[in-house]
Amino acid sequence: MFNLRTVFVVASLFAASSASAQTSLPPAADIPLPAQMPVYDTALAPGWQNWSWAKADLSVELSGSTRKPIRVVAGPYQALYLHHDPFSTKGMTKLSMLIQGSAPDGEVRIFALIDGKVASEGKLSKLGNTGWTQLVVPLVTLGVEDKMIDGLWVQNATGADLPKFYVTEIKID
């Protein structure tokens, strides 16, 4: 037979363990990862900064367009450099952006950065001047799938001046 004191002690222990279970945090595996990391649309997304060494004008007005892209004027090997505190790409698979040149046959190379250093040879892309081109680069190509990254470059891939080009709708997802 239980006496009243034993029942009270057991009930107290049960209440304490129940409260503890309700306030504990879920395991890290249960916390959903972001499905997408916005970088730039009409302005830099929160946490992103312009560290470019090419001339980069943000939120440029284009007549007849709702887009406000980044205009980049890049000398030899200069780049649009967008920096962020390190974040994980776990669960993300690609970098995408819209890009448009102002002259045919320009070339840029897309890089992702780990600790401020390029993570791979990047992805070479030709610029057209007949409208926006959707550029999608797998993170594995950039060497940053499931890694902690801290920046992106869109670099003039040549030793000559590159006529201005525009970049917008940049995201990692």
pLDDT interval class at 111 (50, 70, 90): very high
- Assessment of whether the complete model's pTM goes beyond 0.85: no
Residues 136-161 have pLDDT tens digits of 999 999 999 999 999 999 999 999 99
What is the fold, at CATH topology level, of the domain defined by 32-172?
A: Jelly Rolls (2.60.120)
18 pLDDT higher than 80:
no
Mean pLDDT, rounded, of the chain:
86
- Residue 30: DSSP 8-state: G
What SS3 class is residue 28?
A: helix
Q: How much is the pLDDT for 33?
A: 52
Residues 67-109 have pLDDT tens digits of 999 999 999 999 999 999 999 999 999 999 999 999 888 999 9
6 pLDDT higher than 50:
no
143 sits in the region (left: phi over 0; alpha: psi -120 to 50; else beta) called left
